[in-house]
Structure 1
Amino acid sequence: MAAAAETRVFLEVRRRLQSALLILGEPKEGSMPMDISITPSSLQMKTAEGCTEICLPAEVRLVPSSSRGLQYVAGDGLHLRLQARADFSTKLTSMFNQSSQAQDCCTFYCQSCGEVLIRDRKLLRVLPLPAENWGALVGEWCCHPDPFANKPLHPRENDCFIGDSFFLVNLRSDMWQPGPRVAPVETHCLSSENHFKLKPKANTNVICKRCKVMLGETVSSETIKFYITEMIIQPSERKFPIIPRSQFVQSIIAQCLVELSSARSTFRFSIQGHDGKAYILLWLLNSDSLVIESLGSSRSVKKFPLLEDISKADSSSAGNAVKVLYQPCIKSRNEK
């Protein structure tokens, strides 16, 4: 029997609610009517052209008897709600370990091209930075003058400070070693007596020499701020992990939204450019979703890519996801 026409399958499982939304994309003309069978571990779709069965990951189980609210949405397909169980940790974790552990030797990579930026750096202290507006809080709560006024928090040798969207790294130890460890990075600064000295009004952007991507900026003569969306920090014994750019950025942004929402009890965010201009507003709706998406291009589908094409997927597990509502703050270039 010929395989059924390609049907897009989208399944969102909510951990806290123990519920699921199943969407079957609009089938091709001539493939209706469609007979849908749901078991705890699989979905089966039968049409006049054939039968397609989709096996769910072992961590996800559906409750077929709870199916309700079947409706057809024009341009989208069939929508069906039902109960589900997902044996996943409720903690959203990044696809790669972005937080380094003290005492480990780490290597800093450019995420876009894999170029080594800092090799075998032993981090003795890995510390989180306070919130961005911590100085204002000190002024409001302290009755004495601010003891931290005009004293920026800069890392010492073998330190790594972690902010909401960046890493602060001290480069002095690298400059004292034979051969610069940060050779692939152009800092647009002058070097004199083993120290960086900024030119007056100089461009302080840190650029990858191989792919020319902006990795961060120089903060002081010995400190560089690396953006977390441009860097991967791995233990030196591990190899550079290859991941599509769009998937990496979305994973990092999702992790930041969840952590900031939990730490600051807010669900409203804005994404700003280097000039401080807001480009998009975000409202975090939920962070407990598992997303399974597949194109039914074969009779039996066992791969469930998240944010990428099915031909590139190499895992049958579901992926963590956050749901956001967004509002652009600037007009598209194509809009008049």
Structure 2
Amino acid sequence: MGRYAPLSERGALAYALREGLIATVAGQDLLVAARHGRNSAFILRAPANRPGLFLKQARDGNAADAAIGREARLLLALEGQGITPPLIRWDESAGIICVAEIEPAPVPPLPRDAVRALASALARLHRLPPPATQDAVPPLVTDPRFWHGMAERAPLFADLVRQAPGLAQDCMRAGAIFRRSAMVHGDAKVQNLLMPPGRPAALIDLELGGAGDPAWDIGCMIADALMTALLAASDEAGFEQAVQDAADWTAAGLAAYGTPLHPRDPADLGRMAALACVTSVFTQLQGVQDLTRAPLSLMQMAIGGLADPAGFWAALHAG
């Protein structure tokens, strides 16, 4: 844990009131938007369903300070583009909290619609030139340092690596295709999307973003769709249907995305998607004691994708 005490729901509300970010919020209107990884995220909705706040706390000491600063700079750079919500405040040195204004969220859409909305938002982002002052964080699994000490950090993942001894080398070699050709999000998934009614979807949680490879964002979107579908399955038939569902969602997303990536070698796109699947599995297995079918299935798909990336990319269009 970092040096900051993690915010609770009451703490998030107290911070917003103390800093003058909101004048008043009824207690029952405070909603927890998400909790994932080392971050906590909250939606503070004002009375009468007026626009409220999205408030995030990253809890990782000095690394969190840097991440909040990175995200704030990107939000400022993207202000007025209609791709991200407007930045209200960031507290890099003390509270490591990033705050952005949002519209009240609608009823969550079907997964297929959510993937389409995410893809459309990414297409708008990727059409922007890359920022000259901030590089995106490259895929974690392409960094040799990631693989050192793996057994201590995630024993189950280390077991998978032993079953596929060439995985680390394949991931690091695949990292050579990472290009810095556009403004990218860095952690593209439906959870990092706000969908206000009557307006285009907005991207949040850009702490990994900057000048990077748009294919990585698409790969993350695909890995998110696959993991979401697999986690919802309960038996063998369900897993087969989950893969078909994810392929359908992915095909819909790629159709909505259009052509900002082209021309691009399908094998490069397949490798990026496979890298994102490996990263997604690692994220799922941190702190987990038992290996479940969903991450195992996704890892098997990722290993196949690294071996035959062009075929993997073609399969993702099969929905």
- What TM-score range do you get, normalising by the shorter chain? under 0.3
Q: Please identify which structure carries the higher helix content.
A: 2
Q: Please identify which structure carries the higher strand content.
A: 1
Larger Rg over CA atoms: 1
Taking structure 1 as the reference length, the TM-score comes to 0.25
Taking structure 2 as the reference length, the TM-score comes to 0.26
